[in-house]
Structure 1
Amino acid sequence: MKGNTHKTCLKQYEVDPDSIIFYDAKVLLGQPGAKQTRKPLRLVGYVVDDVKYWVATDRFDLTAEDIALIYKLRWEIEKFFAWWKRHLKVYHFIARSKHGLMVQILSGLITYLLLAIYCHEQHGERVSIKRIRQLRIQIQNELRELENLAPDPNSARTPHSEPLHASP
């Protein structure tokens, strides 16, 4: 939220001068008579690295510090998913349940870590699309070789592979 957004203060809460919080109040946002919120909101202003942030919420049960922390953590989550999309090329989730999402996230992270270890140990470099393509081709070639070495399923059976028959 922008700091210059019009707000009507209904009640201002006390703020500790040593805190990162510089504003904490129950407000109505917007111009009166225009598009003003009907329901009061909690407006928290806080500073991190000399940058002011404003957060509007309906959570009156939390401290202003908790609200600021939650908002900061939200941005950490946003940064994680930006990294996820950039490095793992995952643009949407397949799973819809909590456990399914966790499996998809952990699978992606494990895959990336294995790729990072491979690229570092084999090539002394970071993960790149070039190395991923080379690895995919190498795996495909090794699978073809294994298929060529595998016994033909249509060939004669060995004595140990004969089906068991019940005696009369």
Structure 2
Amino acid sequence: MYTGRLIFSQVMAHLPLHTFRRCVARYRGEHYVKHFRCLDQYYVMAFAQLTYRESLRDIEACLRAHQSKLYHMGLRAPSVARNTLAKANERRDWRIYADFAQALIRVARPLYADEDLGLELDNTVYALDASTIDLCLSIFPWALFRTTKSAVKLHTLLDLRGNIPTFIHITDGKVHDVNALDMLLPEPGAFYIMDRGYVDFRRLFTLNAAGAFFVIRAKSNTKYRRRYSHPVDTAGGVRCDQTVVLTGVRSAVDYPQPLRRIKYHDTQTGKTFDFLTNNFSVKAQTVADLYRYRWQVELFFKWIKQHLRIKSFFGTTENAVKSQIWIAISVYVLVAIIKKRHDIKADLYTILQVLSLTLFEKTSIEQVLNLRDRTSEDHGNPKQLDLFDNLTGH
């Protein structure tokens, strides 16, 4: 039942605070801290994400304007100074928020486990990709990317059921995408969908040995020899389905077992793709459809860059940048959890837009986020006077 709390506090009520306290204790986040707790820092940073604040000064001014409501937001600090927040971002261990985001991911994934991908496939499907966030070299010299610029890179493994990130690794921009494969713990029976940047047959053979499947776009210079050709239905865009063995000097050694090659022509774009996979049982069209679903991870990067604050950073140190990125990820996952728990039909973008304008309102979160047409409900209210009926009565 609605208790008259602020929308912000209703959103934060979905956080597992006992887990957050364990994360803080694990890294001694509140050692010698008297007033501005790690939870206060998280609440302020989450508020900045949800309301699209641009700077520390912007955060301070906005919270000062609503100072009487800080207690009802859950903040113990009577006020929030930008210097206090800046020092917290600089000094509090970013791993607190990384571990907490991972805990939220473990809560969110079961909620979306039954999502329908539109494929005849019960396996878990992951999309692996990386995205670069450009930074100013003079302000972020620790994230050297090129001689004239800095950057950080987000290596992300996205569970396509619910578009929940299950693995995120933050590096400087120089780290190649394919190195993320060394950090994954392959899940037997799962599909990993990747672009050409991840073609490394030694690493792919490690996935195969772990019982996982992969679908990857082949490079144009990949050398192989056809062993068998399988019949295909060309009406759907599949041009050939072959069993091949690699013949390159290194690739033949790195991946000594046969692979499946599928050539697919996309009639909408006019492009032709060569896919390699170690799965020989699913339909060729399903393999092509799986790669098409890989674009969900591209949309995830685009969405999170546009709608969460990870391009305007509230600190310049590596610790501050990583803390802000992980808090942004946790806010994204938190909104996904709320969407499922409250059975909200609107997409995440719409939910964030509504929350950004209503965090200080005292109304039910279900009423705010379930965007129903209330006009018809008002007409059905028997206590509502009908002006035109009264006029005709006279």
Q: TM-score, normalization: structure 2?
A: 0.26
Maintained 8 Å contact 2:264/2:288: yes
The answer (yes or no) to whether the contact 1:88–1:112 under 8 Å persists in 2 is: no
Q: Distance in 2 between matches of 1:115 and 1:102?
A: 12
Q: Distance in 1 between matches of 2:336 and 2:308?
A: 10
Q: What amino acid sits opposite 1:82 in the alignment?
A: F
Match of 2:336 in 1: 105
Which of 263, 273, 280 matches 1:53? Answer: 273
Provide the aligned C-alpha RMSD in A: 3.5
Would you say the 8 A contact 2:260–2:276 is kept in 1?
yes
Residue aligning to 2:286: 66
Residues 18 and 39 of structure 1: is their aligned pair in 2 closer, same or farther, counting only changes over 3 Å?
same
- Secondary structure at the counterpart of residue 18 of structure 1: helix
Amino acid at match of 1:34: R
Question: Are 1:12 and 2:249 an aligned pair?
Answer: no
Opposite residue 260 of structure 2, the aligned amino acid is R
Q: Which residue of 1 aligns with 2:353?
A: 116
Map of 2:303 onto structure 1: 84
Distance 1:19 1:11 in 2: 21
- Tell me: CA distance 1:30–1:106, structure 2 relative to 1, closer, same or farther (3 Å): farther
Residues 265 and 272 in structure 2, CA contact (< 8 A), matched pair in contact too: yes
Rounded to whole Å, the distance in 2 between the matches of 1:116 and 1:46 is: 39
Aligned-pair CA distance for 1:9: 0.9
Stretch of structure 1 that moved more, 1-10 or 63-72: 1-10
Deviation per residue, 1:59-117 (Å, 9 max, x gap): 10101001001110122x2133123322234744449xxxxx96553448877424434
Q: Secondary structure, in 3 states, of the residue corresponding to 1:82?
A: helix
Q: Distance in 2 between matches of 1:34 and 1:17?
A: 33
Structure 1 residue 35, shift from structure 2 partner: 2.5
* Distance of 1:88 and 1:68 partners within structure 2: 31
Asked if the contact 2:336/2:348 (under 8 Å) is kept, the reply is no
Higher relative contact order (CA 8 A, sep 6+): 2
Amino acid at match of 1:83: K
CA gap 1:111/1:21 in 2 versus in 1, 3 angstroms: closer
Which residue of structure 2 aligns with residue 29 of structure 1?
246
Structure 1: which 5+ runs fail to align? 96-100, 119-131, 144-168
Q: For this pair of structures, how many residues does the alignment match?
A: 118
Identity in percent:
23
Q: Which amino acid is the alignment partner of residue 63 of structure 1?
A: K
- Structure 2: state its 5+ residue gaps: 1-217, 311-324, 340-345, 363-394
Q: Quick one: structure 1 residues 106 and 83, their matched pair in 2 at CA, closer, same or farther if it must change by over 3 Å?
A: farther
Change (3 A) 1:115 1:16: closer
- Aligned residue identity for 1:40: P
Identify the match of residue 258 of structure 2 among 22, 25, 40: 40
1:30 is displaced (CA, Å) by 4.2
What code does the residue aligned with 2:353 have? Answer: A
Q: Residues 34 and 83 of structure 1: is their aligned pair in 2 closer, same or farther, counting only changes over 3 Å? A: closer
Corresponding position of 2:180: none
2:336 partner amino acid: I
**In 1, distance between residues paired with 2:288 and 2:294?**
10
Partner letter of residue 105 of structure 1? A
Q: Which is greater in Rg?
A: 1
Please tell me whether the aligned partners of residues 6 and 29 of structure 1 are also in contact (alpha carbons under 8 angstroms): yes
Which amino acid is 1:39 matched to?
A: Q
